[in-house]
């Protein structure tokens, strides 16, 4: 092996046909089937439009989701846990801004035993009062801990400033919210949003597609939990596009948490693929400009990065870091200097080529195995996008020019429209 000569790398890589098989249950629930992999393991995800966007009371969405496996009208939480353990399965629930999920991992041969349990959890939770009190107390203590951390303070204020404190994506918690949530609130939320008209199913692993579709139809395809999808109210208006600078004082903090960015658009926006390339150059990976300048060259931080987040009803760009208090001002100035350079000077052919290779590798990795494939397809469905997005992204990565990147920077990396939040001494 010649360790001096670098190995050849392929160009114009793409993941190939990534479209899963699509079936519809009797009540029109869409089911995406990804039959792949060598191990006899299956993952099933139920997705509901039941994230915090839809709640009218703080904590309702996440708490309703977390309580699903704490008991049903047929089983206690302990009985559910023992049954899951007996079959060597794993059930996880989670909720974000737009959606809520129930994820099941099981040996394929136990699907007939695990699926009825999953249906019971999704459709018949009992929301026991004692378990809710325990959950809220645990989350209250975590809330108090997070309030002592500059990173949490900056993240919360950044969202409120970017979207507006009355926007569903910008709402913040208060201590009294933990005292105001009741089991009745959770039952009402579940009754409205955990319904067939609001559900999408994703299945991946090694299984018989026809058999599992039939099993899903028997358990989830009826009209016993049917409803129309919830109607989204008008998206709240964007705050005034003026630069916002905020300092959250915390005099005992050694580090200062920085968040700089702005409100942008969902992943379906035509500029999104190009902005993914621009974001990667700016701060999207370890070799990005922000890392090379602020970490490697100046030593202001251990880590810094930028993220481009697409949600269902919006999105944002954010640059995130923690720096020593004495270097805070210099770090902020360098962040804006890197933005300005992208606006004023085309990226070099070498830098763009390295970015292309890195991003194409990331795209391929997002389809490495059936579970990663499921995650990628689910991420698109979360924001109402189709699998054609990846073709557009790969084409953009391969064809975008330095001039187009500079035009995107001039359009979106505008200092006068940035929200700048600092939490620290």
Let me know whether 254 and 329 are in one domain. yes
- Assigned domain for 161 exists: yes
Structure tokens at 336: 């804006």
Q: What is the pLDDT of residue 14?
A: 64
What b/e string do you get for 173-208 counting C-beta neighbours within 10 Å, with b at 16 or more? Answer: eeeebbeebebebbeebbeebbbbebbbbbbbbebe
220-261 residue pLDDT tens: 999 989 877 777 766 777 666 677 899 999 888 889 999 999
In whole angstroms, give the CA distance from residue 388 to residue 205. 22
In whole angstroms, give the CA distance from residue 257 to residue 336. 16
Strands 244-249 and 419-424: parallel
How many Cβ atoms are within 10 Å of 156's Cβ, its own excluded?
A: 20
Q: What is the pLDDT of residue 39?
A: 93
Let me know whether 268 and 207 are in one domain. no
Domain termination site, one of 220, 235, 266: 220
With CA atoms as reference, report the closest residue to 235 among 161, 172, 166: 166
DSSP symbol at 24: E
Question: In degrees rounded to 5, what are phi and psi of residue 300?
Answer: -80, -20
Let me know whether 198 and 260 are in one domain. no
Let me know whether 318 and 366 are in one domain. yes
Let me know whether 199 and 248 are in one domain. no
Let me know whether 260 and 370 are in one domain. yes
Q: What is the pLDDT of residue 7?
A: 59
Let me know whether 250 and 216 are in one domain. no
Low pLDDT (below 70) residues in the chain: 1-3, 6-17, 233-234, 238-241
Please answer whether residues 241 and 417 qualify as being in contact, where contact means their C-beta atoms are separated by less than 8 angstroms: yes
CA atoms lying within 13 Å on the CB side of residue 377: 29
- Assigned domain for 13 exists: no
In whole angstroms, give the CA distance from residue 187 to residue 58. 15
Let me know whether 266 and 333 are in one domain. yes
In whole angstroms, give the CA distance from residue 242 to residue 162. 10
Let me know whether 315 and 209 are in one domain. no
315-329 residue pLDDT tens: 999 999 999 988 999
Distance from chain centroid for Cα 312: 11
Q: What is the pLDDT of residue 305?
A: 96
Count of structural domains within the chain: 2
Taking only Cα atoms into account, the Rg of the chain, rounded to an integer number of angstroms, comes to 23
Domain of 39: which CATH number? 3.30.830.10
**Beta bridge mates, 93:** 102
Structure tokens at 90: 């794993």
- Assigned domain for 14 exists: no
Domain of 249, in residue numbers: 244-424
Tell me the whole-structure pTM to 2 decimals: 0.91
Q: What is the pLDDT of residue 389?
A: 92
- Assigned domain for 10 exists: no
| Cα torsion angle, 321, 325, 331, 333, sign | positive
């Amino acid at each position: 092996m010649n360790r001096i000569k670098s190995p050849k790398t392929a160009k114009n890589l793409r993941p190939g046909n990534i479209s899963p098989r699509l079936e519809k249950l009797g009540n029109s629930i869409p089911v995406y089937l990804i039959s792949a992999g060598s191990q006899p393991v299956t993952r099933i995800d139920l997705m509901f439009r039941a994230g915090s966007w839809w709640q009218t009371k703080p904590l309702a969405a996440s708490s309703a989701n977390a309580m699903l496996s704490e008991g049903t009208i047929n089983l206690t939480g302990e009985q559910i846990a023992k049954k899951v353990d007996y079959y060597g399965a794993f059930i996880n629930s989670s909720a974000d801004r737009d959606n809520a999920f129930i994820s099941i991992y099981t040996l394929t041969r136990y699907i007939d035993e695990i699926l009825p349990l999953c249906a019971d959890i999704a459709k018949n939770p009992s929301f026991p009062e004692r378990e809710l009190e325990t959950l809220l107390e645990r989350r209250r203590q975590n809330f108090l801990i997070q309030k002592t951390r500059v990173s949490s303070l900056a993240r919360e204020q950044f969202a409120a400033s970017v979207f507006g404190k009355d926007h569903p994506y910008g709402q913040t918690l208060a201590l009294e919210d933990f005292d105001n949530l009741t089991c009745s609130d959770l039952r009402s939320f579940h009754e409205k949003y955990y319904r067939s008209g609001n559900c999408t199913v994703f299945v991946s692993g090694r299984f018989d597609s026809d058999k599992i579709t039939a099993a899903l139809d028997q358990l989830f395809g009826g009209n016993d939990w049917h409803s129309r999808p919830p109607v989204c109210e008008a998206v709240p208006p964007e705050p005034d596009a003026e630069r916002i600078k905020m300092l959250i004082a915390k005099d005992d903090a050694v580090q200062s948490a920085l968040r700089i960015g702005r409100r942008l658009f969902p992943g379906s926006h035509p500029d999104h693929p190009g902005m993914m390339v621009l974001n990667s150059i700016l701060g999207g990976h370890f070799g990005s400009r922000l890392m090379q300048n602020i970490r490697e060259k100046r030593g202001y931080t251990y880590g810094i990065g930028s993220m481009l987040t697409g949600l269902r009803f919006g999105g944002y760009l954010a640059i995130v870091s923690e720096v020593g208090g004495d270097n805070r001002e210099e770090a902020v100035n360098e962040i804006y200097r890197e933005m300005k350079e992208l606006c004023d000077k085309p990226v070099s052919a070498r830098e763009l080529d390295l970015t292309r290779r890195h991003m194409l590798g990331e795209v391929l990795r997002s389809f490495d195995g059936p579970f990663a494939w499921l995650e990628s397809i689910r991420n698109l469905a979360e924001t109402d996008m189709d699998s054609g997005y990846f073709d557009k992204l790969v084409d953009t990565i391969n064809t975008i020019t330095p001039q187009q990147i500079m035009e995107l920077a001039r359009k979106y990396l505008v200092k006068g429209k940035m929200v700048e939040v600092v939490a620290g001494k």
